Homo-oligomer: A and B are copies of this chain.
Amino acid sequence: MVAPTIDFFYEFASTYSYIAAMRVASLAAAAGVTVRWRPFLLGPIFKAQGWDTSPFNLYPAKGRYMVRDCERLAAELGLTFRLPQPFPQNSLLAARVALTALEQGWGEEFSRRIYLAQFAEGRQINAPEVIGAIVAGLGHDAAAALAQAQSDDIKAKLHATTAEAQRLEIFGAPSFMAGGELYWGNDRLEQALGAAKR
């Protein structure tokens, strides 16, 4: 029998993806559900909706609320939240390194470290030295990981995941696929885990 599985589509620049990334592993383990970590890029999807930046920038009241909401959600997890400057960060390099790391078995912890660096510490996640320090801190070769992240193979895989997200009509992050259905947002993680087990 195949273990129940959810696909976790996450975007490194996404504030609510941070909250979900810090929750998903423990909740899924408790539920007996396997998580497929699927980093993707929201930029092309937002562009297709006519947005050239985050909706939290386009709608300032919504953006101010989001910061307070994320502070409260992070506090419930014993974490801090701060909005990085600039927001949103350019997440391309982090996503490529994450795909590299996921193939080598250390991508989940790498992803959490990128989120903490960005949303708890206010660091620049498009900086190779920030990413490299996280890779090295996890005991891996930073130069090798950064080089492999720029390979045609990894670039193609990131394009493919983003294209798959578009085909699935994903319009925001985080999103979960479970039991053939889409669940959008950190708030739907529990429901997606339940659906995976049915």
Contact = CB atoms under 8 A, between A and B. Distances in A.
A69 B183 CA distance: 8
A153 interface: no
A62 B69 CA distance: 21
Interface string A38-65: 0000000000010000000001011011
A59 B49 contact: yes
Contact of A169 (B64, B69, B182): B64
A188 B68 CA distance: 13
Nearest to A183: B69
Nearest to A185: B187
Interface in A49-95: 49, 59, 61-62, 64-65, 68-69, 72
B69 A184 contact: yes
A49 B171 CA distance: 20
Interface string A162-198: 0000000101100000000111110110010000000
Contacts of A59: 49, 171
A69 B184 CA distance: 9
Given A49-B59, A59-B49, A187-B187, A68 B169 contact: no
A187 B73 CA distance: 12
A38 to B, nearest CB: 18
Interface of A: 49, 59, 61-62, 64-65, 68-69, 72, 169, 171-172, 181-185, 187-188, 191
Given A64-B169, A68-B181, A69-B184, 12 more contacts: A49-B59, A49-B61, A59-B171, A61-B169, A61-B171, A62-B171, A62-B172, A65-B169, A65-B184, A72-B191, A185-B187, A187-B187
9 contacts: A59-B171, A62-B171, A62-B172, A64-B169, A65-B169, A65-B171, A65-B182, A68-B182, A187-B187
